[in-house]
Amino acid sequence: MTTAAIHEGSMPVTITVNGRTEKAEVPGLTPLGDFLREKLGLTGTKLGCRAGDCGSCTVLVDSVPVASCLMPVAQVGERAVATVEGLGGEGDLHPLQEAFRNNNASQCGFCIPGILMAATAFLDRAEPPSRAEVVDGLSGNLCRCTGYESIVSAIVEAHTLNREA
């Protein structure tokens, strides 16, 4: 898709989100986060700063964490998008969700979807992450409730749960 096309009015967009193909007509510069929330009703993704600073809008694009407030939906192309809704749900919790529940790591919850998606990167590692590595890896995700200790504990535990699953 050309830059000129992206700047021209509404355009058809087709993307794959959580394994489903989704289509809509939107201005090409519509941020992916707005597209997910307003066109697809996937409101798990939260928009905070809208400037790439807080990490609350983090989703995975081809397994890479990205700030969905900054990426125009028209630039996603054929890459696979994963949101927090695709992780798991009641009765079928993802190891990260289970560990966050076990550690009471969700406070107001606003930052948690972005942190969960960013934290998926730790689960593929052979060795469990140290607390310092988790803190470093989440440096782009801000929690206004500031309870980082339980969040870090949950991510370390999730690595173990994931290995046992």
Minimum CB distance to ligand FES smaller for 25 or for 115: 115
User: Closest approach of Cβ 50 to ligand FES, in Å?
Assistant: 5
User: Closest approach of Cβ 143 to ligand FES, in Å?
Assistant: 3
Is the distance from CB of 68 to CB of 30 less than 8 angstroms?
no
Closest CA to 94 of 15, 154, 136, 21: 154
Strand 64-67 to strand 58-61: parallel, antiparallel, or no bridges (unpaired)? antiparallel
Minimum CB distance to ligand FES smaller for 111 or for 134: 111
The percent helix, strand, coil of the chain (3-state, each to 5) is: 40, 20, 45
Strand 80-82 to strand 10-17: parallel, antiparallel, or no bridges (unpaired)? parallel
Residues that bind ligand FES (CB under 6 A): 47-50, 52-57, 67, 69, 106-112, 143-145
Minimum CB distance to ligand FES smaller for 26 or for 47: 47
User: Closest approach of Cβ 103 to ligand FES, in Å?
Assistant: 12
DSSP string covering 84-99: GGGT-BTTB--HHHHH
Minimum CB distance to ligand FES smaller for 33 or for 86: 33
User: Closest approach of Cβ 146 to ligand FES, in Å?
Assistant: 8
